[in-house]
Amino acid sequence: MAKRLLLFGPPGVGKGTHSKRLAADLGVPHVATGDMFREAAGRKTAVGLEVGGYMDRGVLVPDALVLAILEDRLARRDTVDGYLLDGFPRTVPQAEALARLMTMAGTRLDRILSLEAPEDTLVKRIAGRFTCEGCQASYNRFYLAPKVAGVCDRCGGRLFQRRDDAEATVRQRLTEYLARTAPVLQFFKTQDWPLRSIVSLGVVDEIYGRIRQAVEA
Ligand code: AMP
Q: Ligand 1: residues within 6 Å at CB?
A: 11, 33-34, 37, 54-55, 58, 60-61, 66, 87-90, 94, 164, 173
Please, what sign has the CA dihedral across residues 74, 21, 150, 57?
A: positive
Catalytic residue of the set 21, 38, 173, 210? 173
CA-176 nearest atom, ligand 1: 10
- Distance between CA 137 and CA 134 in Å, rounded? 8
CA-32 nearest atom, ligand 1: 3
Residue nearest to atom 1 of ligand 1 (CA): 34
> Of 21-25, 127-131, 155-159, 204-208, where does mean pLDDT reach its minimum?
127-131
pLDDT tens profile 69-116: 999 999 999 999 999 999 999 999 999 999 999 999 899 999 999 999
Looking at every residue in the chain, the average pLDDT score rounds to 93
pLDDT tens profile 174-185: 999 999 999 999
**Is the previous residue joined to 89 through a cis bond, with omega within 30 degrees of 0?**
yes
- 83 close to 5: Cβ distance less than 8 angstroms: yes
The question of whether 171 is a catalytic residue gets the answer: no
- Residue-wise burial string across 8-41, b where 16 or more C-beta atoms lie within 10 A, e elsewhere: bbbbbbbbbbbbbbbbeebebbbbbbbbbbbebb
The question of whether 3 is a catalytic residue gets the answer: no
Enclosing H/E stretch for 46: helix 46-57
Mutate to test the pocket of ligand 1, among 90, 170, 175, 176 (most ligand atoms within 8 A of CB): 90
Q: Cα of 26 to ligand 1 centre, how many Å?
A: 24
Q: How many DSSP H helices and E strands does the chain contain?
A: 9, 8
